[in-house]
């Protein structure tokens, strides 16, 4: 009996240690310790033994069960650890490998155009300035020579906040980027050359108007600045932006409270396959003029409002819609799609995040 038990134990433990997977191990467990298992059967024989026999065999059989149970547990732990190692090895990511998939994510056309603008104007010595989108009435209107009673205020469809600020100023979402002119002149010594791209807000919505849109403001303040500087700057900018030399501008007299004189700038274009292609003289056969931006010589009163002497400092300013510039260059037709967040639209019109606009590389390469 004693050697029987030892033989059973040796065979079972060998089998357990040789089990190559969890299923085999489980089968061995059931065969030994299950209801009809060999060790269970041995345990049952205890009931038919004499007390002396039972005293002798009991501890042996229990020890057998104990050692088989321990062997199964340690084999199971070993098999579990090996399975985990295999799983980890299969899921390992080598961070040093190049991206296997095509890169996800793209640059929104508006961001791309703002980067292009910054690049083009940096080449002409312009810095990028920013201002708050939540503005006060003074910076957005009054300082720009648009007093309380001015009809231009009604034209701007302004989103006002219900409460005034600590100075009793009405607060609003800026209706244009022109307040950045004021903030720049108040904080920087001339000469000044800046562009200010950013979001602006008006209570207006249809196929060509969204309540939020983008503008870029331009401002130059120096001695002896005149309209010729303005026209050259706009021409140079638009040639670089549209990547063609045949850009022809037409300056039309206009009115803005913050510029005097003011000019609306039109650009010649041609209609091709339902798309406006910028270029050529608007008066030429097959061409027409399209209104593109507002501009002018900074009004003396605006310069004085910022604490500068208008007899010493002159300048020009302009403001243009960035979304409009993007639509014209990249052939998009519905402004609302810009802000829908539709991934299909973005994957069609979006830009590779790694292709940063540079003048040397081609601004939209
Ligand atoms: N702020 C004007 C608007 O949003 C655009 C504009 C016109 C800006 C003439 C200028 C300018 O700087 O000189 O309608």
Q: Which atom of ligand 1 is nearest to the CA of 178?
A: 1
Three-class SS state of 293: strand
Quote the pTM value: 0.73
Closest C-alpha to ligand 1, atom 7: 294
Ligand 1, residues at Cβ distance < 6 Å = 176, 178, 217, 256, 259, 294-296, 317-319
Examine the pLDDT at 206 and tell me if it is beyond 90. no
> What's the 272 CA to ligand 1 centre distance in angstroms?
29
Per-residue confidence (pLDDT) for residue 1, from 0 to 100: 55
pLDDT tens for 159-188 read: 999 999 998 989 999 999 999 999 999 999
> What's the 126 CA to ligand 1 centre distance in angstroms?
18
Strand partners, 217: 196, 319
> What's the 178 CA to ligand 1 centre distance in angstroms?
6
> What's the 62 CA to ligand 1 centre distance in angstroms?
95
Closest C-alpha to ligand 1, atom 12: 318
pLDDT confidence bin for 9, thresholds 50/70/90: confident
- Which residue among 264, 294, 314, 317 is best mutated to probe the pocket of ligand 1, counting the most ligand atoms within 8 A of its Cβ? 294
- Which residue among 197, 231, 256 is best mutated to probe the pocket of ligand 1, counting the most ligand atoms within 8 A of its Cβ? 256
Closest C-alpha to ligand 1, atom 14: 176
196: left (phi over 0), alpha (psi -120 to 50) or beta: beta
- 67, with CB counted inside 10 A (0-12, 13-18, 19+), is middle
pLDDT tens for 43-95 read: 898 888 888 988 888 898 898 999 999 999 999 999 999 999 999 989 888 88
pLDDT confidence bin for 361, thresholds 50/70/90: confident
Closest C-alpha to ligand 1, atom 13: 295
**Domain 109-349: which CATH class?**
alpha beta
Q: Where are the beta strands (DSSP E) in the chain?
A: 127-128, 134-136, 160-164, 170-173, 192-201, 212-222, 249-256, 259-272, 275-278, 287-298, 314-321
> What's the 15 CA to ligand 1 centre distance in angstroms?
88
> What's the 167 CA to ligand 1 centre distance in angstroms?
27
Residue 301, both tokens: 């009163």
pLDDT confidence bin for 217, thresholds 50/70/90: very high
pLDDT higher at 259 or 208: 259
Closest C-alpha to ligand 1, atom 8: 319
> What's the 343 CA to ligand 1 centre distance in angstroms?
33
- Which residue among 258, 266, 300, 301 is best mutated to probe the pocket of ligand 1, counting the most ligand atoms within 8 A of its Cβ? 258
Q: What is the mean pLDDT of residues 296-316?
A: 97
Where exactly are the structural domains of the chain? 2-90, 109-349
> What's the 65 CA to ligand 1 centre distance in angstroms?
92
- Which residue among 318, 321, 323, 324 is best mutated to probe the pocket of ligand 1, counting the most ligand atoms within 8 A of its Cβ? 318
Identify which of 215, 232, 199, 214 has the alpha carbon closest to the alpha carbon of residue 316: 232
- 170-173, strands of its sheet edge to edge: 134-136, 170-173, 160-164
């Amino acid at each position: 009996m004693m050697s029987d038990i030892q033989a059973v134990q040796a065979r079972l433990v060998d089998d357990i240690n040789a089990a190559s997977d969890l299923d085999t191990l489980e089968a061995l467990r059931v065969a030994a310790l299950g209801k009809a298992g060999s060790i269970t059967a041995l345990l049952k024989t205890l009931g038919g033994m004499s007390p002396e026999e039972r005293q002798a065999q009991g501890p042996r059989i229990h020890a057998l069960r104990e050692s088989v149970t321990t062997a199964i547990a340690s084999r199971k732990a070993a098999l579990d650890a090996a399975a985990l190692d295999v799983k980890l090895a299969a899921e390992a990511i080598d961070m040093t490998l190049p991206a296997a998939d095509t890169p996800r994510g793209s640059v929104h056309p508006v961001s791309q155009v703002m980067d292009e603008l910054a690049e083009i104007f940096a080449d002409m010595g312009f810095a990028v300035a920013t201002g708050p989108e939540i503005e006060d009435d003074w910076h957005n209107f009054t300082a720009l020579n648009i007093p309380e009673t001015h009809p231009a205020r009604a034209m701007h469809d302004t989103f006002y906040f219900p409460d005034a600020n600590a100075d009793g100023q009405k607060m609003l979402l800026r209706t244009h980027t022109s307040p950045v002119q004021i903030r720049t002149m108040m904080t920087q010594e001339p000469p000044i050359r800046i562009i200010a791209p950013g979001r602006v807000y008006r209570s207006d919505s249809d196929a060509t108007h969204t309540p939020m849109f983008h503008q870029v403001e331009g401002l130059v303040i120096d001695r002896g600045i005149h309209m010729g500087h303005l026209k050259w700057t706009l021409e140079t900018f638009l040639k670089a932006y549209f990547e063609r030399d045949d850009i022809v501008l037409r300056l039309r007299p206009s009115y803005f409270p913050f510029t005097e004189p003011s000019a609306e700038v039109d650009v010649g274009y041609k209609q091709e396959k339902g798309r406006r292609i910028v270029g050529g003289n608007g008066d030429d056969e097959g061409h027409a003029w399209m209104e593109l931006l507002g501009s002018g010589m900074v009004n003396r009163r605006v310069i004085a409002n910022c604490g500068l002497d208008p007899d010493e400092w002159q300048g020009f300013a302009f403001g243009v819609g960035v979304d409009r510039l993007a639509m014209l260059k990249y052939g998009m037709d519905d402004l609302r799609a810009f802000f829908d967040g539709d991934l299909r639209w973005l994957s069609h019109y979006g830009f590779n995040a790694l292709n940063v606009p540079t003048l040397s590389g081609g601004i939209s390469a």
